[in-house]
Structure 1
Amino acid sequence: MIRTKTRSISKVAAIFMCVAMLFSVMAISASALDAGTTYTPVLTTGAPHPIDIFAGDAVVDPDDVVTIELQPMSVGTVTGEVVGAVSNTSGYTAVVSGGYLIVTSPAGIAAEAFSASITFTIALSSGAHMPATGVLTLAS
């Protein structure tokens, strides 16, 4: 009788562990950068004024590739357009193409862990080019 109860408890424990592992896997895969998901891009800079260069949401398509439409920048009387970008974070790439910022992240990274330091090249209305560095993260 004791042996039967021990086996039953072991079976219940094994089933519980399998269910717990299944939920863990589901939670991890749900937070990855999967195609079709959108996020709010957040750019943190050391500048005294925010650099508002994003025209909309960050869209993931395909997996692990984030695309954000860019808009002209205006800080006080200074105006310009983002014409280039390079990632300073290992595992990430960043380029500007056709008015969009395209950032490729490490495969399978969770949205909460997405963090890329990017140096942007901004063509000012005066004709000069200015670098601006910020950390891009994604908010739900």
Structure 2
Amino acid sequence: MSAPIDYGKLMHRAMRGLIQEVLLEVQENGLPGAHHFFITFDTTHPDAQLADWLRDRYPQEMTVVIQHWFDGLDVGEEGFAVTLNFGDSPEPLFIPYDAIQTFVDPSVEFGLRFDSHSDGEDDDPEPPDGTELAEAEEERHDAEVVSLDSFRKH
């Protein structure tokens, strides 16, 4: 029997692809208008690269702002590199897409939030019966639903 379709994993991949596409556009053309981004990422991710003093100050997660001053935006397949200014000290960062927890563009009230489960293939144990499977699926996917209505201006 084949494995069930993992909609959560597919949705995460699509949302991270959206982030990559937006950042590629900014890399090529700069930030248009009032657009700017708040990006929260997991500083413990093994592929995240940041200065030791930043890792010490933000041992779990960190939110960066891409707005007025940033340099060297280099968008790749697995993540992006950027140099940001921290108190008049430019610091290079590499943020893997897998490490991103939230991506928000407040200028247009758009945001994405990723749940904390990893995207590994076999990290979800099989529940022993169908009832528990339904409950487990409902519980796991609640945090993955993105409602665009919550970001629209009223």
The TM-score with structure 2 as length reference comes to: 0.27
The TM-score with structure 1 as length reference comes to: 0.29
Radius of gyration: which is bigger?
1
